[in-house]
Chains A and B, each alone.
Chain A
């Protein structure tokens, strides 16, 4: 029976999860399934599609990902608070068509086209707002990634899907890999309290999923700014995990 490795994905830094997959591969650990959400779906798909050039694509994609998803590149409540204030001031309206166009531009450039049914060991999750439930996506890889990485501060839902990471934090799994957020914030505005309470709920749901898992690991990447050091951190986490299996 396969071991389910579950990856979060609420920030762009999860692109570094490519390091984790390399660590698993290097030790011949093959009986695993990757259950991913949000940005971790990108390295996971690239890895299963062609592991030889996956890291190259990720490292080339990195700068563009930071620009395309500016608010999703800061795993810090303090930074997110600023984004939320801007959102409230602007009263930005939902615009799914323009969100889809912008995300598809990114996806078309970097994501290979394949059918997800061809990749047995990869499960891509997103949250369906119409059905109010989490779903494993099927079919075209580009469309699936576009739905899985919708980050609601920057983008409107695509076909009613948003990143699962923004609701449950992470899919269920035997082993949970979660990026540690900087939760330090000195609330000054009403929106700060709204942010604290909504993230407390996410952290609670993550906690519940961790409690159901056999093992969970928090990856600390505070202060790591480039993809090579972030990937290395994930790689080290992978090696440590293998040691504990």
Chain B
């Protein structure tokens, strides 16, 4: 059973469309997809449409719509709002984006099974969602801590799945995948000038350590060298183009992976 794990990472996740396009090129489909945060958006949309080009077109249209109606500029993420508000974006704003994407589609409508990973902060553990409405599950998985207002799933408040499972390979194994392909981003050294930035840097180091263990569970990894911040959604097109370039260079290895 072939499983595909799609890493959390905001706009960088546009490269996952390129990863899934490889399946289109070889006229085959994965048996199971798992994604955290933006990885869960791409994974569920691919499961609905089974066409990477269609996923790109729908997602880019919705991103344009979101950017037109919201301030998603970089200064907002270090603003004083972080210490006075519960989140930078309220649920109302955020929910509309997902509603446009999924309507009332359920997991049971999907053609390829998908595991959507969220972080259950009350139990301090990752939480797998694979039933119910996609809009609720994916929204929970994308709740970046402090940025978006958390929602409830199964009676627990949920945060972004990338907190503890940035690349859900362990979850794929748990659900029976025996050949795992991972779609990940190359990590670049970040800088810090304030104590707060240092704290965030240390947090990212911990995320990297967790990610490394997850990558080690994979049989085939495509690593995309993207030097952008997760919030830079206006760069989605160049990220996608880079993704296609990198993925297509790995076609032969992908074919070997399929044959193994």
Closest residue of chain A to B85, judged by CB?
A190
Q: Which of B48-56, B60-68, B159-167 contacts A (4 or more CB under 8 A)?
A: B159-167
Q: Which of A37-45, A81-89, A140-148 contacts B (4 or more CB under 8 A)?
A: A81-89
Interface centre among B88, B196, B203 (most CB of A within 10 A): B196
Do the beta carbons of A152 and B202 come within 8 Å of each other? yes
Interface centre among A88, A196, A197, A198 (most CB of B within 10 A): A197
Closest residue of chain A to B77, judged by CB?
A190
Known: A89-B80, A200-B163, A201-B203. A190 touches B195 (CB 8 A): no
Known: A88-B83, A89-B80. A200 touches B209 (CB 8 A): no
Known: A193-B145, A205-B206. A87 touches B195 (CB 8 A): yes
Closest residue of chain A to B208, judged by CB?
A132
Do the beta carbons of A190 and B198 come within 8 Å of each other? no
Do the beta carbons of A190 and B83 come within 8 Å of each other? yes
CB of A47 to closest CB in B, whole Å: 29
Do the beta carbons of B146 and A190 come within 8 Å of each other? yes
Mask: chain A, 68-103; 1 = CB below 8 Å from B; 0 = not: 000000000000000011011101111000000000
Do the beta carbons of B199 and A153 come within 8 Å of each other? yes
Do the beta carbons of A157 and B198 come within 8 Å of each other? yes
Partner of B209, one of A157, A191, A205: A205
Do the beta carbons of A87 and B159 come within 8 Å of each other? no
Residues from chain A with a CB closer than 8 A to the CB of B164 are 200-201, 204
Do the beta carbons of A190 and B81 come within 8 Å of each other? yes
Do the beta carbons of A92 and B196 come within 8 Å of each other? yes
Mask: chain B, 9-38; 1 = CB below 8 Å from A; 0 = not: 000000000000000000000000000000
Do the beta carbons of B195 and A92 come within 8 Å of each other? yes
Within 8 A of A (CB), among B170-197: 192-197
Mask: chain A, 144-162; 1 = CB below 8 Å from B; 0 = not: 0000000011001100001
- The complex places the Cα of A45 from the Cα of B135 at a distance, in Å, of 55
Residues from chain B with a CB closer than 8 A to the CB of A197 are 119, 121, 145, 159-160, 163, 203
Residues from chain A with a CB closer than 8 A to the CB of B85 are 189-190
B154 located at the interface, meaning its Cβ lies under 8 Å from any Cβ of chain A in the complex: no
Partner of B121, one of A92, A196, A204: A196
Do the beta carbons of B145 and A196 come within 8 Å of each other? yes
CB of A176 to closest CB in B, whole Å: 17
Chain B: interface size category: 35 or more
B82 located at the interface, meaning its Cβ lies under 8 Å from any Cβ of chain A in the complex: yes
CB of B116 to closest CB in A, whole Å: 18
Interface centre among B81, B82, B150 (most CB of A within 10 A): B82
Closest residue of chain B to A163, judged by CB?
B202
Within 8 A of A (CB), among B144-161: 145-147, 150, 159-160
Interface centre among A153, A183, A200, A203 (most CB of B within 10 A): A200
Interface residues of A (CB under 8 A from B): 84-85, 87-89, 91-94, 127, 129, 132, 152-153, 156-157, 162, 166-168, 183, 187-194, 196-198, 200-205, 208
Interface residues of B (CB under 8 A from A): 80-88, 119, 121, 124, 145-147, 150, 159-160, 163-164, 192-203, 205-210, 213
**24 A-B contacts (beta carbon < 8 Å):** A84-B196, A87-B195, A88-B82, A88-B196, A91-B196, A92-B195, A92-B196, A93-B194, A93-B195, A94-B197, A127-B205, A167-B206, A187-B121, A188-B86, A189-B84, A190-B88, A191-B82, A193-B159, A197-B121, A197-B160, A197-B163, A198-B203, A201-B210, A205-B206
